A and B are shown apart, each in its own frame.
Chain A
Amino acid sequence: MLETVQKETVAKKIVLDLYGIHQAFSQPNGKSSLVLDDMSLSLREGEIVGVLGRSGCGKSTLLRIAAGLIRPTAGKVFYQGKELDRPAKGIAMVFQTFALFPWLTVLENVMTGLDALGMKEAEAHKKALAAIDLIGLDGFETAYPRELSGGMRQRVGFARALVVDPAVLLMDEPFSALDVLTGETLRSDFIDLWTEGKLGIKSVMLVTHNIEEAVFLCDRIIVLAANPGRIAARIEVPLPQPRERLAPAFREIVDDIYARMTAGHASASDIKDKKGTLPGLAMRLPIVSSHRISDLLEMLAAPPFEGRADLRVLAERFHLDDDQLLPIVEAAQILGFAEIRGGDLHVTAAGKILAEDTGDGRKRLFCEHLLRSVPLAAHIRHILSERLGHEAPRNRFLPELEDHLSPRDASQTLTAIIDWGRYAEIFTYDQKHHKFKLSA
């Protein structure tokens, strides 16, 4: 399923071209962390390109670079052949949070973009009404955003973007703040307007963490990997619109992407340590409560899954977003309680025991695996046992982690290990004084 460039797309003109994009942000401590690492990607006429990745992979940053809102540290963006150095006419954006001005009516919100273009009021008014009509909002022109439901608000967001006749539409998780049903309706309405050619847009870039959504809407999907954000896979979706979610071909693509997004998580053994003194401290841990991990394993071990589950089905059962499920899966993998094989999640032998034991045994097993699989846990226990009073402040470990991880990741990892270590009763943590203490 890797990108197989079709003859058809080659013929189409490139509208927006991102080339060799690097993005680094400087941290308060003076170090800079790399968010995007050498990304290249182009949008051609007539296609919807999806950028798919988990939170923190830099996909929103990439979209903002494409919009001219952020200047990349290195690399260039070309829009219709010209270099883009600021927001340009013809590139419109739809926001996850809608980004409507609460003090303006629906009509005024839609008109703001036209005002900025310097359009005459009468003409702007006419155009705005047409866009409101197209997107199914007629009758709500004089309503204020806070009087509308989430779905209606996002329709205003779409109308505001479409009314300026953009060549490129950039969408930042436009459906993720909506409930499932509303999101589905809006997605279908959007793809209908698009396939009917009523939008006058040349191409669309959609940022999302929802795998099905990407497969449902996009012609091409770029899968990003995190830390730093880079392209993990390019996937073509050669299915005709409208797409059927239950069709085997659709499911096959979804499963394939699931497998790609969960594969290759760092485990202790394959982390190459920079300094070699403290092996494995470069392991970034997801903030997932220990209870969440055992919940997942219990569910996985029990019927109907019996130790093996399709991730998508599991997400539905768990009532979780992909974005919420994947960190739990990652944590279970790191601790050796589950593994991904062929797009499915399998419980390991240890995971099965953990799922079945409810008493102290579960805690002991968790502790054992934590010390074995996560070098940081063993390291903290070692330091605490050597120190007088068996205590150590948070700042004993944070700088160490920051030698290997970005400050944000370091602090996140420490938060994760505090929860796990507390549950495993390896140490206690005093939040008030930021202090670790060895458990008796």
Chain B
Amino acid sequence: MHTLIRPARLVAPNRWDLVAFPLIVAVLVLLGRGAEGTFAPLEAVQSAPIFLDPAMLPGYAVRTVLRMLAAMAASLLFTLAYGTLAAKSRRAEIILIPLLDVLQSVPILGYISFTVVFFMNLFPGRVLGAELASIFAVFTSQAWNMAFSFYQSLRTVPRDLDEASRAFRFSSWQRFWRLEAPFAVPGLVWNMMMSMSGGWFFVVASEAISVGKQQIALPGIGSYVALAIEQRNLGAIGWALAAMTVVIILYDQLMFRPLVVWANHFRYEQAAAQTVPHSWFLNLVRHGRFLQLTTRPLEYLAQRVLRAPLLNASVPGPLVTETSARSRIVDAIWYAAIILVTLYGCSIIVRYVATELGWEDVLLVFRLGAYTLLRVAVLIVLASFIWVPVGVMIGLRPQLAEKIQPLAQFLAAFPANLLFPFAVIIIVHFDLNPDIWLSFLMILGTQWYILFNVIAGTTAYPTDFLEAADNFQIRGWKWWRNVILPGIFPYYVTGAITASGGSWNASIVAETVSWGETHLTAHGLGAYIAEMTAAADYPRIVLGIAVMSLYVIFFNRVLWRRLYRYGERHFRLD
């Protein structure tokens, strides 16, 4: 099922972005202003000390996993509410969808300084604030694509099922649970998994953070690694890597697999699937006597909720084809309100940034952004040259692909920031240029998305085309150009988009790294944001985030979206 679902961000509409972008930046500004004003009392907050004893690691791992799960729960709630609202209300949709589109492009680690301060102010003197900030960071890495997927599912409910649910007069409640939610499950589960996979990176990065003089280290694998880096303890880093590996494998076996098996039940295609996914854990739950005792009441409860005669009065009316004059007037007022709020947002941004910053700052940030852009572009090209041929070779050998595919997915989920210390040691040892060699850290964790999408694409490539190519003796470059590359193109683009988005995010932690007292910094926007975060310079953080978002949006619009459309038009295999 994996790659059959297209990436959500590509099908989003792109009008109204001019509204969404200033709104988001304006909110950041407001948060930053609040953060500046209330910074002082936070120095009182004491965080629990971290120990490098490996025996402490399981406990830390549990804390990290709990953070992940809490973020996932929040993302799910957000998804159901946001996706439903955007799909059901035309007026909400106009603003919510571009907002999501821009939010997807905002670098998550960039605004962590604001959120830390914001949440710690909510719960002064308690760890809960910092916990929430970390959870929020993970949430923002997970929620947007899930909400997109859910919204899209709601908008593409099959016509016949929609008509059946209306003709049989389902209430809105019944319609949601009987039709809309089940139909959305496969796409949502797939996006949840991608989100979880990306989330490890952010949970690790957000556990230990310093904003100005404020040092926060939440108990977790991320803080453990941060301390190990500070103390130059290579052994401890080894332990952390092992712990993370165990955690990801367990999460895959206990959560990912059962969910995929369960989601398979909600496939819309009527045909029986050729390969049915298995999960030993789910079988255990389903067949174990004792476990059945615990799941039965849950099932009963679910049935009660599903069948509850709620919202019965609201039997949906027929489709209305013409919009009435009154609703057009409300539309006009609504648009005007949105534009006013946007203009107000713009004025907030300008006033805020202009108080401390001049044009030279803006120019500097754009120049740094260009360096990072260059890095991302070069890295994606390099990674493509390596992983596309490798992926095709693996994909053409089904038995090998079956073994490699889980490994590639594991590597994509593994938080690459745990490996950064090794890179620093190597760069320092060989006295390499950080501007060049630090760049590779940006794509360390995200290149695997290219690999596993290309493998999936090649595996799905129709065998008869390959046989035809064989039969006509199409070989060498001709084979790549005319046979396989067009076939895997959409898959490749999907993987490359994820890889490039991830690299931008990673630049904030990858362009400036340290090993004990050794600090390496590359010139780039990521390093700029990281430095400003450390200095708690809010206007410059806002500027950095805004410019990075602009670069990401620009990159998506000018390159990826066009490539994806082109692939859809020209290289469809059906």
Residues of A within 8 A of B (CB): 25-26, 64, 67-71, 73, 85-89, 91-93, 95-104, 112-113, 115-118, 121, 145-147, 153, 160, 164
Contacts and interface: CB of A to CB of B under 8 A. Distances in A.
A381 B270 CA distance: 47
B174 interface: yes
B250 to A, nearest CB: 28
Interface of B: 158, 160-161, 163-164, 166-171, 174, 178-179, 182, 185, 265-272, 307, 309, 312, 315-322
Given A71-B320, A103-B266, A113-B168, A87 B160 contact: no
Nearest to B161: A99
Given A99-B164, A116-B170, A146-B270, A86 B315 contact: yes
A164 B168 contact: yes
A101 B265 CA distance: 11
A101 B161 contact: yes
A99 B321 CA distance: 23
A87 B169 CA distance: 6
Contacts of A71: 317-321
Contacts of A160: 168
Nearest to B268: A102
Q: Is the interface of A mostly helix, strand, loop or mixed?
A: loop
A112 B315 contact: no
Contacts of B267: 102
A69 B309 contact: no
A103 B265 contact: yes
9 contacts: A69-B167, A71-B320, A87-B166, A91-B167, A93-B167, A93-B168, A99-B164, A101-B182, A147-B272
A358 to B, nearest CB: 29
B318 A115 contact: no
B317 A103 contact: no
A440 to B, nearest CB: 28
A291 to B, nearest CB: 23
A100 B270 CA distance: 9
Contacts of A145: 270
Contacts of B171: 116
A87 B266 CA distance: 27
Given A87-B169, A92-B167, A97 B309 contact: no
Contact of B317 (A67, A86, A102, A118): A86
Contacts of B170: 112, 116
Nearest to B307: A115
A300 to B, nearest CB: 34
Contacts of A147: 272
Contacts of B316: 86-87
B272 A95 contact: no
A85 B161 CA distance: 20
Contact of B312 (A97, A104, A118): A118
Given A69-B166, A69-B167, A104 B178 contact: yes
Given A70-B318, A86-B316, A112 B168 contact: yes
Nearest to B316: A86
Given A99-B161, A101-B161, A113-B168, A86 B268 contact: no
B178 A146 contact: no
A95 B159 CA distance: 11
Contacts of A68: 167, 318
Contacts of B164: 93, 95, 99-101
Contacts of B174: 112, 115-116
Contacts of A95: 160, 163-164
Contacts of B163: 64, 67, 69, 93, 95, 99
Nearest to B183: A103
B275 to A, nearest CB: 15
A103 B169 contact: no
